[in-house]
Amino acid sequence: MYDIEKIKATRELLKCSVEKSRKLGVEISERSWRLESCEQRLDFLSVALRDLSCKCTLYKMSTHDIDRVIGPASSVVNIFDVICGFETSLSNDDVSEDVFAYVTTVKRMEEALGLLTDNCKLVVSWLDTGSCCDSSLYVRKVNKCLSIVRGLQGTEERFRSKGGVLMIALDKVEVEYASMLRGIAPFSVALPDVIRNVQRVVERLGVNGRVEKCMSVYVEVRGLNVRKALEGFDLDYLEEISLTEFDSVLSVEHYIDQWDKQLEFVVKYLLDTEHRLCVEVFRKATFKDRCMECFARVAVQSGIHSFIKFGNTITKGKKEAIKLLKLLDMFGSLNKLRSDFNRLFSGRACGEIQTQTRDLIKKVVNGICEIFWELSLQVELQRPTSPPVDGSVPRLVNFVVEYCNQLLEDEYWSTLIQVVEIHQGWNHESFEKGLLLNEMQNIVTALGLNIGTWAKRHEDASLSYFFLMNNHWYLCKYTRGTKLGELMGNEWLTGHEEFMEYYETLYLKESWEKLPALLNEEGLVLFPGGRAIDRQVVKKKLKEFTEAFDEIYKKQSNWELCDKGLRWRIRQLVLRVVLPPYSSYLEKYASSIEFEVTTTADQRIKYTAKTLGNMITCLFEPKVGKYGNSTKCTELSDMVNNSFVTKQLSSTPAAA
């Protein structure tokens, strides 16, 4: 079975080979007939020219006249013979095997055809003059020569017409041209030999009226290469994303970072390589002044317009602080690529790209300045809002401090200075760096006024003081040693530190410092000078203390302090205020009532000193993630006991 299939396949192969051989034989026969016909005509022309020379001598024509016709006529014979050789080479040779040799042959054929045409014109003009002789035989031979030369005179036109030898050869060169361009990979520098061959091909196509075709092939091939090079990138977002003035850029923040990296890659690497290749390819072409048209069209294929469109989309988003940072990022990216843009997209051919880029930069600069000069106003507009009910640092305070520090970083700050200077120049206004520093201070000042206004909205005085203490600590702690702290100055930092201690004192006085007074010894002794203790008064005072403690603890158990250090400090101060008098009271009087209290639950002592200490050390914890990882409330509870408290509180700074 296998042998039969193999025989069938072999038979089909032989049939195909026979058919190809038959067609080749027909083609060879046709070419042989053409060559034989040309040879016969040339032989006749040679004989006729010799006879013509004899006749000219017989009729006593001048030697000068003879030479004028014989020379060009002989050239016609020789040139046509050369052309036939070129025709054979161009028809049989494979252009891809040796591009240089093939293109050289094309060039030589063009030159030979030009010489043939010129010489035929000369011969025809002189033969026309000689046809006036009386000899009828002579006239017939001259007319025969004229017929042959005129036929040869149309050789160039036939070769250049559709289906002609030269046109077929140029078509083959054009195909090889596309193949060579396709073989030059993106980001790579083509070998000098490859570039030279492409230049020769471009030159030949150009002088043969194929300028537009040459350019379109270049754009098609290199544009396809560029698109393939970008296939690994997800560029759909450039066209798909849209924003209005009410949409936040937060929703597309990650795309902006992606845009930055991809734009740099496309311009500095992909288009830079394509630009250098385009300049090299068309450097020697007769139409080299149009090479930037090709590059501009290739650049469009890379999606450069889509990158610019995405930038314009971002500028349309809502005016907000985060947008300012993203616009600064975009300006930094565009500014970093400025020299590349100027070099790659110069000239009229890239005029549209230039215009769109300038328009984008203008929108980015205007957007940055509009948002920056309104930042303090935006902070002020938050003043009517309500403060956090837990006395914590408002998100706006946290955001503004971090935001200002970020804005003052060297990269952002230098970019902002550059942008504002450009904007002032556009408006013919003088630029002063101090204007920006003053505006940054205005933002922080507006934030301080917000904090004071928010504190007044707390009806509970202790919560108001707690809130102010918390926020002044935050401003002092989280700006010291930062760019913002340097800008605001040491006096500003010291002022917040003093305010924090002041409100700390008021907070303790308004809340925890009221508890010790409930454990005074007034009314505990039954008889003057006696040692008997009124147990009911002891229990009453403990109950009042416990109820007051529970009320404060319940109210403040949800309050939050922003910083681990501040939490430790305030807990220590509360422990110092509450625990020593409570421990002392229990030490003196608990035994007298414990002996009596044995059955009823509501008569037992609710808290031991250690329990009370453990509860206090768990106060003011923030919610997880609000200011970072919350501190475990057990960090102090295991160490709290009467002896520890007595020892530690002796070294704790006084609240005042």
Question: Which helix or strand (DSSP H or E) is residue 28 part of?
Answer: helix 2-58
C-alpha dihedral, 238 to 244 to 245 to 248, nearest 10°: -60
Q: Is residue 289 exposed (0-12), middle (13-18) or buried (19+ Cβ within 10 Å)?
A: exposed
Q: How many CB atoms lie within 10 A of CB 231?
A: 7
Residue 596 CA to residue 536 CA, distance in Å, equals 11
Domain-embedded: residue 359: yes
Alpha-carbon distance of 537 to 515, in angstroms, equals: 16
Sign (positive or negative) of CA dihedral 495, 501, 502, 503: positive
pLDDT of residue 26: 52
Query: Among the ranges 13-22, 79-88, 204-213, 220-229, which has the highest mean pLDDT value?
Result: 220-229
Provide the CATH number for the domain around residue 111.
Answer: 1.20.120
45-49, 122-126, 242-246, 542-546: segment of lowest average pLDDT: 45-49
Distance of CA 479 to the CA centre of its chain: 33
Residues 217, 323 share a domain: yes
User: Whats the size of the chain, residue-wise?
Assistant: 656
Question: Is residue 399 classed exposed, middle or buried when 0-12, 13-18 and 19+ CB atoms within 10 A define those classes?
Answer: middle
Please say if the pLDDT value at position 458 is more than 50.
Answer: yes
Quick one: which of 414, 304, 408 has its CA closest to 356? 304
Q: What is the DSSP letter of 268?
A: I
Within 8 A by CB and 6+ apart from 428, the residues are none
Could you give the CA distance from residue 93 to residue 98 in angstroms, rounded to a whole number? 9
pLDDT average, residue stretch 385-391 = 95
Indicate whether 384 pLDDT > 50: yes
Confidence of residue 59 (pLDDT cuts 50, 70, 90): very low
Residue 599: is its pLDDT beyond 50? no
Q: Does 96 share its domain with 28?
A: yes
Mean pLDDT of 152-176: 74
List, as one string, the DSSP characters of 150-184: HHHHTHHHHHHSTT-HHHHHHHHHHHHHHHHHHHS
- Mean pLDDT taken over the chain: 80
Structural domain total, the chain: 4
Same domain, 515 and 503: no
Distance CA 257, CA 237 (A): 12
Q: Which amino acid is at 596?
A: E
The residue that leads in pLDDT, 215 or 133, is 215
Number of H helices, E strands in the chain: 28, 0
State pTM to two decimals: 0.75
User: Is 487 a member of any domain?
Assistant: yes
Burial class (CB in 10 A: 0-12, 13-18, 19+), 31: middle
Q: What is the pLDDT of residues 536-560, one digit of tens each?
A: 788 888 899 999 999 999 999 999 9
Average confidence (pLDDT) over 505-526: 86
Who has greater pLDDT, 643 or 304?
Answer: 304
Could you tell me the pLDDT band of residue 24, with boundaries at 50, 70 and 90? very low
In a domain, 534, yes or no: yes
Same domain membership, residue 37 and residue 137: yes
Do residues 528 and 593 both lie within one domain?
yes
What pLDDT does 95 receive? 77
Separation CA 507–CA 501 (nearest Å): 10
How many angstroms separate the CA atoms of 202 and 220, rounded? 15
List 86's β-bridge partners, or say none.
none
| Residue in this structure with the two tokens 């936040």, named with its chain if needed | 248
Q: Are residues 530 and 433 in the same domain?
A: no
Regarding predicted confidence, which is higher, 121 or 186?
186
> Is 519 among the domain residues?
yes
Across residues 250-261, what is the average pLDDT?
93
Contact 226, 301 (CB under 8 A): yes
> How far lies 433's CA from each of 71, 418, 424, 437, 439, in Å?
86, 10, 11, 7, 10
C-alpha span between 486 and 488 (Å, rounded): 6
Please tell me the predicted confidence (pLDDT) of residue 633: 41
Tokens representing 412 are 């952002």
Position 596 in a domain? yes
Residues 6 or more apart whose Cβ sits within 8 Å of residue 278: 218, 222, 291, 292, 294, 295, 298
- Residue 374 pLDDT more than 60? yes
**Residue 404 and residue 498 in one domain:** yes
Decide if 75 is inside a domain.
yes
> Is residue 456 assigned to a domain?
yes
H or E segment to which residue 127 belongs? helix 99-130
Judgement on whether residues 504 and 515 belong to the same structural domain of the protein:
no
Query: Domain ends where: 509, 539, 554?
Result: 509
Q: Is the pLDDT of residue 63 over 50?
A: no
Are residues 270 and 417 both part of a single domain? no
d(CA 583, CA 581): 6
241, 313 Cβ separation under 8 angstroms: yes
3-state secondary structure (DSSP) of residue 525: strand
Confidence class of residue 416 from pLDDT cuts 50, 70 and 90? very high
Name the nearest CA neighbour of 99 among 6, 35, 191, 216: 191
Report the range of poorest mean pLDDT among 123-127, 264-268, 351-355, 536-540. 123-127
- Residue 638, SS3? coil
Asked whether residue 437 carries a pLDDT value surpassing 60, the answer given is yes
More confident residue, 439 or 287: 439
Residue 487 pLDDT: 96
For residue 533, list its beta bridge partners.
Answer: 525
Quote the pLDDT of residue 629.
40
613 has pLDDT over 60: yes
Q: State whether 368 and 383 are in the same domain.
A: no
| Chain CA centroid to CA 246, Å | 24
User: Would 57 be classed as within a structural domain?
Assistant: yes
Q: What distances in angstroms separate CA 495 from CA 441, 466, 561, 589, 654, one per listed residue?
A: 15, 17, 20, 46, 19
Residue 644 CB-density burial (10 A; 0-12 exposed, 13-18 middle, 19+ buried): middle
Count the neighbouring beta carbons within 10 Å of the beta carbon of residue 561: 26
Once rounded to an integer, what is the mean pLDDT over residues 570-593?
89
- What pLDDT was estimated at residue 6? 63
Q: Two tokens at 560?
A: 């939050």
Domain that holds residue 241: 192-372
Residues 440, 562, single domain; the answer is no
614 — pLDDT class (breaks 50, 70, 90): very high
- The helix (H) or strand (E) run that includes residue 418 is helix 410-426
Q: Which residue has the tokens 């094309």?
A: 106
